[in-house]
Structure 1
Amino acid sequence: MGFSRKRKNTPIVKKPWYREWSEALIVAVVLALIIRTFLFQAFKIPSGSMLDTLLIGDHLLVNKFIYGTEIPFTDQRYLALRNPKRGDVIVFEFPGDKDKSYFERRDFIKRVIGEPGDKVEIREKKVYVNDELYAPPQETHKDPQLVPALASPRDFTGPIQVPAGKYFVMGDNRDFSYDSRFWGFVPRDNIKGLAFIKYWSWNAAGSLLHKIRFGRIGRPIN
């Protein structure tokens, strides 16, 4: 003989609106921190050292896991897909700021020219890597004059050998870039990631109708 049992309805307690918003905000902040720390980070180009590859006002994303995920507050990296290689456009912490506080350290962006063990030499603006001419299509020269070697290493450098665990980098705007020719090599641990796409571009000096560079948005960085 069957029988029925009445079920009690459990009342649904609705959270206060401010609690729902605060929990959603906390989740969003945590996710953003995870993405920024381990996956991608946004950067803005403040100078013209990478003209014409990158313009002042370009906003780009940097792949932080391709060279290995860095554990916060340590120098340890794990699960690297590959090492930086010649031609990569990298973002790195400026080696000259190593003695400064965390908030005073600057990020630079340049192109890798010499890998560990490479011999790099610059003669009359031309770059030679391991005694072979290296002239990527992105390279530009906006000053036709040669600066004597005794006055500056800009147009004459080396030959020098890149030490183990370090990289020789240069800006694509070769005549107006403050790079390894002047301050030396980039340690592997200083490299934050590979710049790979421009997601926004803003021309502060342009007219109102031409401030947004639509043609650069979504373009890969080569």
Structure 2
Amino acid sequence: MTTSTPSGPPKSTAREYFESIVIAVILALFVRTWCFQAFKIPTGSMENNLLIGDHLVVNKFLFAPAAFEKALLPIRSFRRGDVVVFKSPEDPERDFIKRVIGLPGETLELRHKKIFINGAALEEPYVHYLLPPRPDGEMTAFDKRETYGPVNVPQGHLFVMGDNRDNSQDSRYWGFLPQSYVKGRAVMVYWSFESDAADYERPGLEQLLAGLTGFVTKTRWGRLGQQIQ
């Protein structure tokens, strides 16, 4: 009777744990790089749909530009109304979140805070105004919050705007967004913490402690799992 001998010494428990952790980290980095990413809302430019302190899941492969990705993944073109996370055209180190309003080849105009696409008024149930639009017969100031365009959206670009129209730095101020700058589409709120912009300006440790002590009392439980429309 013969017995087989192991090819090497048995792995220690510590080594098995270490290898499991390494594999988990690699998988997490792969998912973060190619599939999904977390993003938190630091400003009120998308109120009242997205609030300061909302933490979002961003689908990164929906608009993937590479040919092999398009062949393998459920990728589609940009659509009006998509809420997208993108690199700021003015500072690519910063990420912004806005809604796609104008698509390539379209003519866009803002009159009395109302958007017109190719001459037709756009219905926007998601829009929030700090001040209501003025009556159509009343003259408006040359203010980009009220009057803009008409402009033609170039190929390969998008015109994006915040839902909080009177408090959003968007395409009205810095121009068209290159599609290549888009990181992904925001799909869901996975956590929401009642906060304000000042909380994100605290040092890292203070921000962490504030988050731990207020987890229960400041979490907006009703927003967890909310789909982004």
Give TM-score scaled by structure 1 length. 0.84
CA root-mean-square deviation: 2.2
What do residues 102-160 of structure 1 show as CA deviations (whole Å, max 9, x unaligned)? xxx011000000000111111111111111111321111112376721xx322110000
Give the greater-gyration-radius structure (CA).
1
What do residues 148-199 of structure 1 show as CA deviations (whole Å, max 9, x unaligned)? 21xx322110000001100000000011011000000110100111111111
Residue of structure 1 in register with 2:199 after alignment: none
Matches within 5 A, 1:102-113: 105-113=93-101
Residue of structure 2 in register with 1:88 after alignment: 82
> What is the aligned-residue identity percentage?
47
State how far apart, in whole Å, the 1-side matches of 2:97 and 2:51 are: 12
Residue of structure 2 in register with 1:133 after alignment: 121
Shift of 1:77: 7.4
Do the aligned partners of residues 189 and 77 (structure 1) sit closer, same or farther apart at CA in structure 2, a change above 3 Å counting?
farther
State how far apart, in whole Å, the 1-side matches of 2:3 and 2:36 are: 50
Aligned length: 204
Establish whether residue 118 from structure 1 lines up as the match of residue 92 from structure 2: no
Shift of 1:13: 3.8
- SS of corresponding position for 2:90: helix
Residue of structure 1 in register with 2:5 after alignment: 10
Matches within 5 A, 1:204-219: 204=195, 208=214, 210-219=217-226
Structure 2 segments unaligned to the other structure (5+ residues): 135-139, 197-212
2:30 to 26, 34, 37: 34
The one-letter code sitting in structure 2 at the alignment partner of 1:213 is: R
Residue of structure 2 in register with 1:203 after alignment: 194
- SS of corresponding position for 2:172: helix
Instruction: Please say if residues 115 and 162 of structure 1, whose CA atoms lie closer than 8 Å, have aligned partners that are also in contact.
Output: yes
Matches within 5 A, 1:63-82: 63-68=59-64, 78-79=69-70, 81-82=75-76
